[in-house]
Amino acid sequence: MNKSSCFSTACLLLSLLAISSTARAEESYTRQQDVIYGRKYGTALTMDVFTPNEGANGAAIVLAISGGWVSNHDTIQPLFVAEYLKRGYTAFAVVHGSQPKFTIPECVADMNRAVRYIRSHAADFKIDPNRIGITGASAGGHLSLMLGTAGDNGDPNAKDPVDRASSRVQAVACFFPPTDFLNFGKPGVHSLGIEPEHRFKPPFDFHVQDPATKLFKPVDMETRVQICKDCSPAYHVSKDDAPTLIIHGDSDQLVPLQQSELIMEKFKEAGVPAELVVKKGGAHGWPTIISDTKTIADWFDKYLKPTATAQAAK
């Protein structure tokens, strides 16, 4: 993965603001900034909540603010959620613990915590806790798929009531996500953050705490491979996963199209409703990408309406 290729929300999505001046969010929503959904190591984890002023449909869309597992509140823009707000969705733009300080497993844990918080506060947000979708691009797509394939039912014995709530989502729709770090681009090719050409290493800087000294030390190779496998959505696919849409360019040099094709095969084998939209000539992002949020919103319309959710629960 090439850091210079702008595998970051700041580079990818902020560029969309400049080239998509005609697609702007209307001021028909209420924005609540820096809602604290959790804390770790004394640091607050926050999200912005966008609520349509009229026509709310009761469903929620979680937006993973992440590119290269960099997450920054400053990159949240109403444009990102304009299409969802227009259709009545309440949108939650989630900022997770960012690299280089935090690693991929910690980012995944934060996103799980965010969905648990949203679900356990559904009444406050006036949403249906059983109608939650998630979206994101690149690393945000990866995190979306981790929720769609590996979200869990929560810990009924947890001290914090938020942690007792489920982190499962009812629909996923995302852009060009990494899905299998052990087969990246070709079968058997690893992307573990230690390869000489791998210039995107901080989120793969895995450490474990020594029980005797309490100091953190780098993991061994066996542990590194296992962590990367555990953080690969492709290994979590099962028949009860959320319906999933992926949009991916066939000229993507950063996250190969193979990553989406690979997980689509697994969804097909498991009987999970899934669709891959291939953008001809599309790289890791493209000038008209913001218009593709309509395709994503259509997917959410299909699977997050009350009748669709009720049927899926049977």
Q: How far apart are CA 284 and CA 5, in angstroms?
A: 8
HSE, side-chain direction, 13 A CA sphere, residue 130: 10
Query: How far from 156 is each of 40, 244, 274, CA to CA, in Å?
Result: 21, 28, 31
Place of tokens 């319906």: 243
* pLDDT > 70 fraction of the chain, expressed in percent and rounded: 89
Q: Given this model, what pLDDT does residue 207 score?
A: 95
DSSP characters over the chain: --GGGT-SHHHHHHHHHHH-TT----S-EEEEEEEEEEEETTEEEEEEEEEESS---S-EEEEEE-BTTB--GGG--GGGGHHHHHTT-EEEEEEPPPTTTS-HHHHHHHHHHHHHHHHHTHHHHT--TT-EEEEEETHHHHHHHHHHHH-----TT-SSGGGGS----SEEEEES----TTSSSSTT----S-STT----GGG--EEE-TTT--EEEPPHHHHHHHHHHT-GGGG--TTSPPEEEEEETT-SSS-HHHHHHHHHHHHHHT--EEEEEETT-BSB-TTGGGGHHHHHHHHHHHHSHHHHHHHH-
Q: How far apart are CA 160 and CA 143, in angstroms?
A: 23
Give the predicted TM-score (pTM) of the model. 0.90
Q: In which band, very low, low, confident or very high, does the pLDDT at 305 lie, cut at 50, 70 and 90?
A: confident
Q: How far apart are CA 99 and CA 118, in angstroms?
A: 23
Lowest-pLDDT choice from 108-117, 166-175, 208-217, 263-272: 208-217
Q: Given this model, what pLDDT does residue 312 score?
A: 53
Contact assessment for residue 143 and residue 66, using Cβ atoms and an 8 Å cutoff: yes
Q: In which band, very low, low, confident or very high, does the pLDDT at 56 lie, cut at 50, 70 and 90?
A: very high
Burial class (CB in 10 A: 0-12, 13-18, 19+), 11: middle
Report, as an integer, the average pLDDT of 245-254: 97
Q: Per-residue pLDDT tens for 166-213?
A: 999 999 999 999 999 999 999 999 999 888 787 789 999 999 999 999
Q: Given this model, what pLDDT does residue 8 score?
A: 42
Q: How far apart are CA 195 and CA 185, in angstroms?
A: 14
Contact assessment for residue 205 and residue 103, using Cβ atoms and an 8 Å cutoff: yes
73: its two tokens: 């509140």
**Of 118, 127, 12, 103, nearest in space to 62 by CA:** 118
Q: Given this model, what pLDDT does residue 306 score?
A: 80
**pLDDT above 90 (res 18):** no
Q: Given this model, what pLDDT does residue 257 score?
A: 98
Average pLDDT, rounded, for the chain: 90
Q: What is the CATH number of domain 3-313?
A: 3.40.50.1820
Report, as an integer, the average pLDDT of 129-151: 98
Q: How far apart are CA 261 and CA 233, in angstroms?
A: 13
**Of 9, 11, 127, nearest in space to 62 by CA:** 127
What is the residue extent of each domain of the chain?
3-313
Amino acid at 109: A
Q: Per-residue pLDDT tens for 59-90?
A: 999 999 999 999 999 999 999 999 999 999 99
Q: Per-residue pLDDT tens for 210-246?
A: 999 999 999 999 999 999 999 999 999 999 999 999 9
269: its two tokens: 């084998």
